[in-house]
Amino acid sequence: MPQVKHVPVRAGDVLLMVGTMKGAFLLRSNAARKRWEKGGPYSVGAPVYAMALDQRKGRHRLWWSEQSFRWGTVLRSSDNFGRTFTEPETYSIKFPADSGVTLKNIWQISMGNAAEPDAVYCGVEPAALYKSGDVGGTWELVRGLFDHPHREKWVPGGGGMCMHTVMPDPVDSKRMIIAVSTAGSYRTEDGGKTWRARNQGVRAEFLPEKYPEFGQCVHKIAQSTSKPQRLYLQNHWGLYRSDDGGDTWQDIANGVPSDFGFPIVVHPHDPDTAYIIPVESDEYRCTPEGKLRVYRTRNGGKSWQALTKGLPQKDALETVLRDSMATDSLKKAGIYFGTRSGKIYASANNGDSWKLIAEGLPPIVCVKAAVIEETKKAPRKALAKKAAKKTAKRAKR
Amino acid sequence: MAVTFLIPAHLAALAANQKTIRVEAQSPTVRGALEALWQRHPALRDRVVNEQGEVRQHINIFVGSECIRFVDGLATPAPEGSEILIVPAVSGG
């Protein structure tokens, strides 16, 4: 077994959480994002499809799913960036015995918004949503979606019947969008009691009816945090934008080499800027012409520009999966992606140029990024300074 | 009735580092023996069986040298004095 290395993570650092088919890795850098230090692996040997960092209420709780092909799928968390982590006696996410269903994988871990600072959500396979209202202490199947009449007609895509997108609205905690491959996207506006398919305008190339109510193979949806009604969608054939929270979708595949792909992310501060990595056809699923190109739109999808500086433009037959692209929240946004061939590329300037920051990793299935916030606990140095001031005041008296 | 489980290192770490565990089962089947094992070491349950109570796909259970998949599953007899072996399957990639 490989030696596990821990990285020292400090406030102000950028942390990349990288899930691979053989465990999880952490990469840290300071805000300059020039040098990266790699830690891990955690959950050695197991696929890690979902990672997240909870920084609400002063927490630094790292979450990840471990899909052991032997021992089943377990949700783990760590409050010290992997040095120690939970080993639950009983698995926290399990389907009810009467459902007849068994958990295959956890694909997504999402935090509730500011109004729900203790809520955590998991999107799982077979497609279902779980909610914890107590920061992961207990979990409940969201029955409103599990019992949805459409559910029996959902079918698995190539990756399984996965709920890969779980997006609590940044403002309205009753509202959430989820997406399932292959079912399409659904939205609740009453905290999960009822759900409506939200796929109008999204094509289902592989069905006799090209624009059905549901059944689309949505690969990923991204939501603008500054303008929550603005969504971008990478479909199994098709690239879309919605300006009404998913009610309707407009085709924005304007000038891209392929409208097939997996990941899509929105710039953290500009709702008109989004990033994709097109791949060639659903049979080949590699970057076209052996060129690794990120495509960026700065006008909501009216046009797309190839970003190539620092990316290999020859013999680069790469695949980037749906959850393997992320942005940080710094002013000059960091954009990151990981490939199935175990490489991680990073841009520290909104995508203008790129750098290979890690290679030789197992196939990458998940990349998440976070800027580490100060904990609410007063740091030791600050406490010592305060104490010294008090002593000095007393001495003056 | 007393039966003895032989478990792999991964599970032993969740069972006070015991690789051999003797339990008193209420019924003479593998299911009965496992129920007694879960009572003693609850952390083993979810790792060996799924939420429907089925043995996980890549776990094999033997009574003596017989794999229960080819006998009667969890209803396979496990009489007094049986040795029950839980082993991860040779699979993966």
Share of chain A above pLDDT 90, in %: 91
Tell me whether residue A9 is in a domain: no
Put simply, the answer to whether A103 touches B51 (Cβ < 8 Å) is yes
How far apart are the C-alpha atoms of A85 and A80, rounded to whole Å?
8
Put simply, the answer to whether B46 touches A72 (Cβ < 8 Å) is yes
Picking from B38, B46, B54, B61 by the largest number of A CB atoms within 10 A of its own CB, the best residue to mutate is B46
Put simply, the answer to whether A69 touches B58 (Cβ < 8 Å) is yes
Question: Which CATH number characterizes residue B65's domain?
Answer: 3.10.20.30
Of A70, A87, A96, the CB nearest to B59: A70
Whether A44 has its CB under 8 Å from any CB of chain B: the answer is no
Put simply, the answer to whether A89 touches B43 (Cβ < 8 Å) is yes
pLDDT-based confidence at residue A378 (cuts at 50, 70, 90): very low
Distance from CA of B17 to the nearest CA of A (A): 15
Which chain B residues have any C-beta within 8 angstroms of a chain A C-beta? Answer: 10, 14, 42-43, 45-47, 50-54, 56-59, 88-89, 91-92
Tell me whether residue A229 is in a domain: yes
pLDDT at A281: 82
Task: Dig out the tokens for B8 from the structure.
Answer: 């792999």
The pLDDT of residue A120 is above 80: yes
Tell me whether residue B59 is in a domain: yes
pLDDT tens per residue across span B73-82: 999 999 999 9
pLDDT at A391: 52
Q: Which domain holds residue B52?
A: 2-88
The pLDDT of residue A287 is above 80: yes
Put simply, the answer to whether B52 touches A89 (Cβ < 8 Å) is no
pLDDT tens per residue across span A74-110: 999 999 999 999 999 999 999 999 999 999 999 999 9
Q: Say if pTM beats, i.e. exceeds, 0.80.
A: yes
pLDDT at A375: 81
Where does A55-199 show beta strands of DSSP type E? Answer: 61-68, 72-78, 105-111, 120-125, 128-132, 140-141, 162-168, 176-181, 184-188, 196-197
Question: Which CATH number characterizes residue A107's domain?
Answer: 2.130.10.10
pLDDT at A81: 98
pLDDT tens per residue across span A10-63: 999 999 999 999 999 999 999 999 999 999 999 999 999 999 999 999 999 999
Residues of A in contact with B57 (CB under 8 A): 69
The pLDDT of residue A70 is above 70: yes
Whether A70 has its CB under 8 Å from any CB of chain B: the answer is yes
Asked if A320 and A272 count as a contact pair (C-beta separation under 8 A), the reply is no
Closest B-chain CA to A21: B93
Q: What is the mean pLDDT of residues B8-15?
A: 96
pLDDT at A379: 47
Mode of pairing for the β-strands spanning B2-6 and B83-88 = parallel
Put simply, the answer to whether A71 touches B91 (Cβ < 8 Å) is no
pLDDT-based confidence at residue A387 (cuts at 50, 70, 90): low
Picking from A70, A73, A74 by the largest number of B CB atoms within 10 A of its own CB, the best residue to mutate is A70
ipTM of the complex: 0.93
pLDDT at A244: 98
pLDDT tens per residue across span A155-204: 998 888 999 999 999 999 999 999 999 899 999 999 999 999 999 999 99
Mode of pairing for the β-strands spanning B2-6 and B20-24 = antiparallel
Tell me whether residue A26 is in a domain: yes
Tell me whether residue B29 is in a domain: yes
Tell me whether residue B62 is in a domain: yes
How far apart are the C-alpha atoms of A139 and A90, rounded to whole Å?
12
Tell me whether residue B93 is in a domain: no
Distance from CA of A68 to the nearest CA of B (A): 9
Q: What is the mean pLDDT of residues A364-384?
A: 77
- What is the tally of structural domains in chain B? 1
pLDDT at A82: 97
Residues of A in contact with B58 (CB under 8 A): 69-70
The pLDDT of residue B45 is above 80: yes
Put simply, the answer to whether B42 touches A103 (Cβ < 8 Å) is no
Closest B-chain CA to A94: B51
Task: Dig out the tokens for B66 from the structure.
Answer: 């017989």
Q: A204-231 in b/e burial notation, b at 16+ Cβ within 10 A? A: beeeeeeebebbbbbbbbbbbbeebebb
Asked if B8 and B84 count as a contact pair (C-beta separation under 8 A), the reply is no
Of B47, B89, B91, the CB nearest to A72: B47
pLDDT at A386: 57
Closest A-chain CA to B11: A71
pLDDT at A105: 97
- The dihedrals phi and psi of B46, each to the nearest 5 degrees, come to -65, -20
Residues of A in contact with B56 (CB under 8 A): 70-72
- What is the tally of structural domains in chain A? 1
Q: Which domain holds residue A137?
A: 14-396
The pLDDT of residue A335 is above 70: yes
pLDDT tens per residue across span A289-308: 999 999 999 999 999 999 99
pLDDT-based confidence at residue A236 (cuts at 50, 70, 90): very high
pLDDT tens per residue across span A256-280: 999 999 999 999 999 999 999 999 9
Diameter of chain B measured on Cα atoms: 40
| Surface-to-core class of residue A48, CB atoms within 10 Å of its CB (0-12 exposed, 13-18 middle, 19+ buried) | buried
Put simply, the answer to whether A69 touches B91 (Cβ < 8 Å) is yes
pLDDT at A302: 98
Tell me whether residue A290 is in a domain: yes
